[in-house]
Amino acid sequence: MLHDGRRAVVTRAAAGRIALCLALALAATAALPGTAWADIGTDINNWLCGLCNDLGRTLASVSTDLVGALAAGTVLSQMQHGGLGELLSGVHEMGSAVNANAVRPLAYCVLALSMVLQFVKLTQRADGSMTGMPGLENICMLLVGYAVGKLLIDNSMQICDAIYRTAGKVMASITAASGVAAQSMPDAAFESTDIAVCLVVLVVCCLQIACAFAAHVVAQLLVYGRAVQIYVYAAFSALPIALLGVDGTRGAGLGFLKSFAGVALANALLLAVLYFFPAIISSIGYANLGDMGAVGQLADAMGVFAQWLAFMLVMLVAMCKTGSWAREILGG
């Protein structure tokens, strides 16, 4: 019984100490400023907004630099000057070797066969004459056609190089025009203290840099894909050029030359798209980007961002359409 009494006394004493601690804690809470917790929340909000604004500003700047790099010709720099030898020198040497050692002998055979067929036709036409043989004029024209055909075959790579250099002159005239540098978004777009607005702007900036990176990838694919196509066409150009000497197959040879010119012109059109689009993007009304804390200003800003993304998507589609545009220009 005595032990139980001591335990009860200890329990009451502990309960009293706990009650005293609670009373002191409540008194201290009442004595502290009521805005302490609000200040902590404001600091966290400002820190998150600053982080989102800094990241968005960096992404927007990088996306503008990517677009500017496209316009500066870094993607097409190896294709703007010189001929096929300056495009990809190693591939050019391989293409020249294939043309000289494998394609030209076959083209000579095609030319000789076409001349024989042409001679047979002339002989059949002369069957009704007194001599039964083609006239001297027809034979001379046949010999001249063979000589011209052989000359074209021997210089098939040079013919392709001349066509490509003509497209290079078009590229040079495009780059000589006064271009406008891509304009970046102003700092007003990254000064909001509303975390929702900051997150929306950050998402839009992520979409911007994704579109700019996609434009770089598509441009690289088109440039190097067409470079390979140009060299394959040039290496095997002797075969379709050999068909120019016969009336029945001349259309195939002319069609090849038109196709090669279309590939070269497509690169010039690609350069035009990349060169003029920064000026188009800079026409966006960045002046509408003010204090985006208000709902109306945020709506205006979203309209500006949507216009930027729309222009970038148009540029991607335009780059992919340069091949068909070149064919349409050449009447293909």
* Confidence category of residue 236, pLDDT binned at 50, 70, 90: very high
pLDDT tens digits for range 84-103: 756 666 777 888 888 888 89
Global pTM?
0.71
C-beta separation of 166 from 264 below 8 A: yes
| Nearest CA among 308, 322, 277, 267 for reference residue 68 | 277
71 residue type, one letter:
A
pLDDT tens digits for range 250-287: 888 888 999 999 988 888 888 888 887 777 776 665 55
Which tops the pLDDT comparison, 196 or 184? 196
* Confidence category of residue 20, pLDDT binned at 50, 70, 90: low
> What CA–CA distances, in Å, run from 116 to 30, 109, 110, 123, 245?
112, 10, 10, 10, 12
C-beta separation of 274 from 176 below 8 A: no
Which tops the pLDDT comparison, 216 or 43? 216
40/38 Cα distance (integer angstroms): 5
Sorted by where each begins, the domain ranges of the chain are 59-329
C-beta separation of 114 from 242 below 8 A: yes
190 residue type, one letter:
F
Look at residue 249 in the predicted model and tell me its pLDDT. Answer: 77
Which tops the pLDDT comparison, 53 or 80? 53
Across 174-180, average pLDDT: 65
Mean pLDDT of the residues in the chain = 74
